[in-house]
């Protein structure tokens, strides 16, 4: 079938309509005249791939990665980076309008960073596949559980991308090559860590191979025999501490390689700066940071002199946040564990008077929290950091139409270039 593409959807696919039925076309861009092939039919829509482009978009780009279209890690390398951000901004605005029935007074200028080599966190699969010549290390293929046969990755820093082929060769020499399903990358300011998920113990010969690899490539290996909290440093044991820094706020964040941190360290610094500018914390104020993690926003807020309470569902992250506050000699930040998805009016009221609030939830959003806010005692300013425009829009509807806030502004933070993932930030005021 041949159509003219109308728009992009939230997954970065071109959208067209044929006889009233929506068609989502991978690899197609708005305005393009394309021929497509359907690979999945549904009653209300079809999923397809582009077969031929008869009239390309002026925004079409040549993908930098030779595995684009095979590897499922990126979906938008065929679209010029600034156009990617514009498309994400439109999706954010459409979600706010159609789901939340709200419109921001101001559209914040999108936040950009480098589009290549930005991932400081990644989880790659490992598998021995004899038909493909040995061990594969990489991300899954599109719409598949198979691992892409790749030797490099353009969104990983060059020094880590260059390790994929040596890792494949190194794994091939291990006695447990069929018992290592995953390698996790965690890059800090002073150390590069690879966490190997191992299902069987290493042999003495395996240990020799890993140590030689670590010495040659200047990385530290950790081993993870069971769940994430079982991970431990293997070699070298005298490697620098894993941490990232927020120099603008004189904060250093130590963390374990299996603990959650943002994948894009450069954009995270800008995100924290933007969040603090919008929140505008002041000495003497009482502020709560919900879904605070290891204190990414909490500790910078505390530098303003405000009293800050960080709340997080994971006890391990609460302990990490407390440790990070002590490491940075911050005494005006406290932390507590609570399941914020079960927040009630009573649990929010128990926090006492709050001047301001920062919310940084996972994809599920903060629906229970915003519904639990007491209309008689609302924080006068809320900064909402979102990784899902649909749940941000749903929660914005409650904040604006039930709790009486104004949506003063919203905008995109391009945390994940070349993917359809949309990070955003919004400001609500009474």
pLDDT the model gives residue 131: 85
Which residue in 292, 387, 400, 413 is the catalytic one? Answer: 387
**Residue 411, token pair as written in the block:** 């905008």
Which pLDDT value is given to residue 151? 96
Q: Is 89 annotated as a binding residue?
A: no
Spatial distance between the Cα atoms of 239 and 186, rounded to a whole number of angstroms: 14
Give pLDDT, residue 45: 95
Residues 173-191: tens digit of each pLDDT: 999 999 999 999 999 999 9
Based on the residue annotation, tell me whether 292 is a catalytic residue of this protein.
no
Q: Is 292 annotated as a binding residue?
A: no
DSSP characters over 152-198: --TTS-HHHHTTHHHHHHHHHTSTTGGG--EEEEEE-SS-EEEEEE-
The pLDDT of residue 112 is 86
Annotated ligand binding at 332? The verdict is no
Q: Look at residue 377 and give its three-state secondary structure.
A: coil
CA-based nearest residue to 251, from 229, 233, 232, 268: 268
Q: How far is CA 401 from CA 101, 129, 269, in A?
A: 9, 55, 32
149 is known to lie in a ligand binding site: no
Positions of the chain with pLDDT lower than 70, given as ranges: none
Per-residue pLDDT, 1: 84
44 is an annotated ligand-binding site residue: no
Domains of the chain: 2-60 (2.40.50.140), 90-114+263-429 (3.40.50.150), 121-187+191-235 (2.40.50.1070)
pLDDT tens, 393-413?
Answer: 999 999 999 999 999 999 999
Is 95 among the annotated ligand-binding positions? no
Question: Residue 414's pLDDT is what?
Answer: 95
Each residue of 119-147: pLDDT tens digit? 999 999 999 998 888 999 999 999 899 99
Instruction: Calculate the alpha carbon distances from 254 to 23, 132, 228, 275, 313 in Å.
Output: 46, 39, 17, 21, 19
223 token code pair: 């081993």
Backbone phi, psi, residue 159, to 5°: -65, -30
């Amino acid at each position: 079938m041949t159509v003219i593409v109308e728009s992009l959807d939230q997954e970065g696919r071109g959208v067209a309509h044929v006889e009233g039925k929506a068609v989502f076309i991978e690899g197609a861009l708005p305005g393009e005249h394309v021929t497509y092939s359907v690979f999945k039919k549904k009653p209300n829509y079809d999923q397809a791939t582009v077969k031929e482009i008869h009239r390309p978009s002026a925004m079409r780009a040549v993908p930098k990665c030779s595995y684009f279209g095979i590897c499922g890690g990126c979906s938008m390398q065929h679209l010029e980076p600034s156009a990617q951000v514009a498309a994400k901004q439109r999706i954010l605005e459409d979600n706010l309008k159609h789901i939340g029935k709200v419109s921001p007074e101001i559209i914040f200028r999108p936040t950009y960073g480098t589009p290549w080599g930005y991932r400081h966190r990644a989880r790659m699969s490992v598998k021995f596949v004899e038909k493909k010549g040995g061990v594969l290390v990489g991300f899954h293929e599109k719409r598949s559980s198979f691992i892409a046969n790749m030797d490099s990755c353009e969104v990983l820093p060059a020094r880590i991308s260059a390790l994929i082929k040596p890792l494949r060769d190194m794994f091939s020499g291990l006695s447990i090559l069929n018992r290592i399903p995953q390698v996790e990358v965690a890059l800090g300011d002073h150390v590069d860590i690879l966490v190997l998920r191992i299902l069987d113990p290493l042999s003495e010969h395996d240990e020799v191979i890993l140590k030689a690899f670590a010495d040659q490539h200047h990385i530290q290996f950790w081993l993870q025999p069971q769940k994430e909290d079982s991970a431990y440093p293997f070699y070298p044991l005298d490697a620098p501490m894993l941490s990232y820094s927020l120099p603008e706020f004189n904060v250093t964040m130590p963390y374990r390689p299996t603990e959650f941190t943002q994948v894009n360290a450069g954009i995270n610094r800008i995100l924290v700066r933007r969040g603090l500018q919008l929140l505008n914390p002041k000495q003497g104020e009482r502020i709560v940071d919900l879904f605070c993690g290891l204190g990414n926003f909490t500790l910078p807020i505390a530098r303003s002199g405000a009293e800050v309470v960080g709340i997080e569902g994971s006890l391990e992250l609460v302990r990490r946040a407390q440790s990070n506050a002590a490491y940075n000699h911050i005494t005006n930040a406290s932390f507590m564990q609570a399941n914020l998805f079960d927040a009630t009016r009573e649990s929010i009221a128990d926090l006492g008077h709050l001047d301001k609030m920062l919310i940084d939830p996972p994809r599920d959003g903060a629906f229970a929290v915003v519904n639990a806010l007491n209309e008689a005692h609302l924080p006068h300013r809320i900064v909402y950091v979102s990784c899902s425009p649909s749940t941000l829009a749903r929660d914005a509807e409650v904040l604006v139409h039930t709790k009486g806030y104004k949506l003063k502004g919203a905008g995109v933070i391009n945390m994940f270039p070349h993917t359809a993932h949309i990070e955003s930030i919004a400001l609500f005021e009474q």
